[in-house]
Amino acid sequence: MVQPRAERLMNLHILLLGAKRFIGKDAIREACYPEHARGPAGDEAFERAFERDKDALRQIGAVIEVGSADAFFDDEIGYRIPTEQTSLPEIRFESDEAAVLGLAAQVWQHATLAKATGRALAKLKGQGVEIDPSRLEVVAPAITADEPAFEPLWDAVGKRRQVSFPYQRADETAPTTRRLQPWGLARSSGRWYVVGLDVDRGAERVFRLSRIVGPVRATGRSGAYDVPPGTDVRAVARRLSPSFPSVRARVRVRQGTGIGLRRRAESVAPIAERPGWDAVVVEGTVHELSDEVLTYGPDVVVEAPESLRDDVVARLRAVVAAAGEDR
């Protein structure tokens, strides 16, 4: 059975991120591309798919390193993605790239993708590839996407395929069919939204996933459209939806960490009374900033506003309570 491309991309991203050393093509093929059988046709199909997937990961901000996968033979090429800590000086994200990379991190908690990733990790371990779970902490926030529309929309965003779906607005008595060229997904106040070009209206629009009341159907070929250069999905969602109120936050960030926050910060300044820490001022929605802050663990501390600090604390307490119930 051929796995969805979105699932395969997430598997590949996490495998390359979690590897302690460079992973050779044979191991990657076994773990992520089992549908391509050995032989001339299968080899060619695998090479094409692997090249496309590497390009897709680079487009969402992943830095893929190439090096020797064998300690004794330099001609055995391997691949890996450095963690944020090990590659901080080389990473430079624009706002739209950071938004999509953040989405990739959030998607890993989706049950379907987490299960598939677990199978792929098990395959690599069986081949003797060392996986360091601590390297995956950068993509393990406790965020889920329960809406049925999420996975087909995520797949359509990656493939740049037009979609149609029945959409029920709060002020309408019956759903209407909407046709969209999806650019990306954004999250705010515990809800997921899809942003893109409304084909029938010829304008950018944002739709709440919980109001999609039927199947999302992809139409046409892959790569049918391009996302406008410089598009910031979160900024579009804030502009078009009243559900995205922003706050101006001051957070304390340990030096050498928090690259995503630093890249879009209004200001960054060392804290004299706390050596090794910087004061970072950044703008965003409460839930969006909470999502990001929580991915950095103890390296980021919220100082203001109180609403953001309270939201982070409440979510941490919920995690502790849930862990206690599982014992």
- Residue 110, sorted as left (phi over 0), alpha (psi -120 to 50) or beta, turns out to be beta
Whether 235 and 252 share a structural domain: no
Whether 288 and 316 share a structural domain: yes
pLDDT tens-place values along the chain, 327 residues long: 455 666 677 778 877 877 777 888 888 888 788 777 677 777 888 888 888 888 877 766 677 888 876 655 556 788 888 764 333 333 344 444 444 444 444 444 444 445 555 665 666 566 565 666 555 544 444 445 567 888 899 889 888 999 999 998 877 788 999 999 999 887 765 578 899 999 999 999 999 888 899 999 999 888 899 988 888 887 777 777 666 567 889 999 999 888 878 887 889 999 999 999 999 999 877 877 887 888 888 899 999 999 889 888 888 887 777 766 655
Which residues, 6 or more positions from 287, have their beta carbon under 8 angstroms from its beta carbon? 187, 188, 189, 190, 311
Q: Kindly report the three-state secondary structure assignment for every residue of 210-271.
A: HHECCCCEEECCCCCCCCCCCCCHHHHHHHHCCCCCCEEEEEEEECCCCHHHHHCCCEEEEC
Q: Are 70 and 24 in contact (CB under 8 A)?
A: yes
**Encoded tokens for 124:** 């690599």
Chain-centroid distance, C-alpha 36: 26
Residue 131 is given by DSSP the state B
Task: Give the span between the Cα atoms of 105 and 64, in whole angstroms.
Answer: 16
Is 133 inside any structural domain?
yes
Whether 300 and 191 share a structural domain: no
CATH for 162: 2.30.30
Give the burial string for 290-309 (b: 16+ CB within 10 Å, else e): bbbbbbbeebbebeeeeebb
**Encoded tokens for 193:** 């939204």
Q: Are 198 and 205 in contact (CB under 8 A)?
A: yes
Predicted local confidence at residue 43, as pLDDT: 85
Whether 12 and 134 share a structural domain: yes
Domain count, the chain: 3
Predicted local confidence at residue 302, as pLDDT: 94
Whether 66 and 157 share a structural domain: no
Task: Give the span between the Cα atoms of 83 and 279, in whole angstroms.
Answer: 23
Is 87 inside any structural domain?
yes
Last residue of a domain, one of 240, 256, 274: 240
DSSP letter for each residue of 16-52? HHHBSSPEEHHHHHHHH-TTS-SSHHHHHHHHHHHHH
Predicted local confidence at residue 87, as pLDDT: 38
Residue 178, strand partner residues:
165
Last residue of a domain, one of 240, 263, 295: 240
pTM over 0.75: no
Q: Are 32 and 8 in contact (CB under 8 A)?
A: yes
Reduced DSSP (H G I as helix, E B as strand, rest coil) percent helix, strand, coil of the chain, to 5: 45, 25, 35
Is 76 inside any structural domain?
yes
Q: Are 5 and 158 in contact (CB under 8 A)?
A: yes
Please provide residue 148's backbone torsions phi and psi, each rounded to the nearest 5 degrees: -60, -25
Is 57 inside any structural domain?
yes
Is 99 inside any structural domain?
no
Whether 213 and 296 share a structural domain: no
Q: Which domain holds residue 261?
A: 247-326
- Count of CA atoms in the C-beta half-sphere (13 A) of 268: 16
Whether 236 and 270 share a structural domain: no
Whether 34 and 122 share a structural domain: yes
Residue 278 is given by DSSP the state E
Is 101 inside any structural domain?
no
Predicted local confidence at residue 15, as pLDDT: 78
Q: How many CB atoms lie within 10 A of CB 257?
A: 19
Q: Are 79 and 42 in contact (CB under 8 A)?
A: no
Is 319 inside any structural domain?
yes
Whether 207 and 276 share a structural domain: no
Whether 277 and 305 share a structural domain: yes
Whether 54 and 134 share a structural domain: yes
Whether 117 and 37 share a structural domain: yes
Task: Give the span between the Cα atoms of 229 and 299, in whole angstroms.
Answer: 33
Last residue of a domain, one of 240, 271, 306: 240
Given the structure tokens 């996490």, which residue do they identify? 14
Predicted local confidence at residue 172, as pLDDT: 77
Predicted local confidence at residue 277, as pLDDT: 94
CATH for 254: 3.30.70
Is 157 inside any structural domain?
yes
Cis amide leading into 245 (omega within 30): no
